Amino acid sequence: MQQVNLYLPEFHPRRVWLSLNQMIAAIAVVLVLIIGLSLWSAAYTDSLQARLTDERAQLETLQQQVQRLMAELPARRGATVEEQVARLRQEIQRREQILRLMSQQNLGNAEGFSGQLLSLSRHAMDDLALAEFSLQSGGQYVELAGRVRKPEQVPLYLQQLRQDESFANVSFGVLEVAREPDDRGPGLMFSLQRAEADETNARGGRSRD
């Protein structure tokens, strides 16, 4: 049987090979991107670790001030000293909460919660103690919980957070402020939990994907 090739040479599939210079250029671009990302991640981590060290130093200073004031209290017995001690203890408690939250994060992860944690530290309030903080759905939603002396302080606190760049694209959950039946602590408990409807929609979106 005789076979006849009806395909012209110009219709034959062609293999396109990269030249040596093109391969070198592509490898160089990849290396530059990797090195740049590594340097940025290292600088970001160093900055966060420096902030953590500074927070710990300030906390130690506050603890020393409390000890000094407590030593002076028997001699002075003034309301001013007691107020200073109470205020410093609140500051220590607030900073300990922030440090605990910061210590729970992976400092080597530049995409973690570091920006939000620093924002929480910057906008800390005397009448509000934060106990829990978490980001949900890849950082799209934030959940908070803690104690506040006056309920109107919570919306003010949230407004300050929303104005911060680190929370610009983050949605807050549903706010609840109440006193638990067996709670005898000062102030009220508050929480921002993600709405069940939003969570159901997010799960449905993931299942459809």
Q: What is the mean pLDDT of the chain?
A: 71
List pLDDT tens digits, range 189-204.
Answer: 888 887 654 544 544 4
CA angle 117, 38, 142 (to 5 degrees): 25
Q: Which two tokens stand for residue 5?
A: 């090739």
- What's the whole-number mean pLDDT along residues 35-43? 78
- What's the whole-number mean pLDDT along residues 176-185? 71
* 6 pLDDT higher than 60: no
Domain ranges of the chain: 113-193
Choose between 170 and 90: higher pLDDT.
170
List pLDDT tens digits, range 58-71.
Answer: 778 877 877 777 77
Q: Which element (helix H / strand E) includes 178? A: strand 174-178
* 174 pLDDT higher than 80: yes
C-beta neighbour count of 44 within 10 angstroms: 18
Report whether 40 contacts 110 (CB < 8 A).
yes
The pLDDT-based confidence of 88 (bands split at 50, 70, 90) is: confident
CATH 3.30.1360 assigned to domain 113-193? The reply is yes
Q: How many helices (H) and strands (E) does the chain have?
A: 5, 5
How far is 96 from 112, CA to CA, in rounded Å? 20
